[in-house]
Amino acid sequence: MRIKSVAMLAVAALAVPAIAHHSFAMFDMKKDVTAEGVVTDFRWTNPHAWMHVDMADKSGTRANWALEMTSPNNLVLSGWRRSSLKPGDKVTVTYHPLLNGKTGGSLVKVVLPDSKILENK
């Protein structure tokens, strides 16, 4: 019985990192910002895909924004493909901005040049 308990505890301890994830506390999840821009990079990587977009900040200064997304697996389930975005695409993005005011956020959705809408679910 003791060996079984120790084995179960070991399995549970090993599983914790598999479900670990960072907090989304750095994003203002109550605020949606929509802006137009040009894709400069699209990274189809685990654990999160990333989209980089040149767009204007609040003062009108153009900057490169890094928008975090969910995993490629979840994106595929939402209709995304590795080829959904490419550098040079003119897009409209909606995102939750970083609380610290830096040029980044958590992507909510993107409107592609052909007007197709892809959500970050």
Q: What gap in Å lies between CA 17 and CA 70, rounded to an integer?
A: 18
Q: Are 52 and 99 in contact (CB under 8 A)?
A: no
Cβ neighbour number for residue 47 with a 10 Å cutoff:
10
* Confidence bin at 59 (pLDDT 50/70/90): confident
N residues, the chain = 121
pTM to 2 decimal places = 0.78
* Fold assignment, 24-119: OB fold (Dihydrolipoamide Acetyltransferase, E2P) (2.40.50)
Q: What is the mean pLDDT of residues 63-69?
A: 97
Q: Are 64 and 11 in contact (CB under 8 A)?
A: no
Domain spans, the chain: 24-119
Average pLDDT value over all residues in the chain? 86
DSSP label of 1 = -
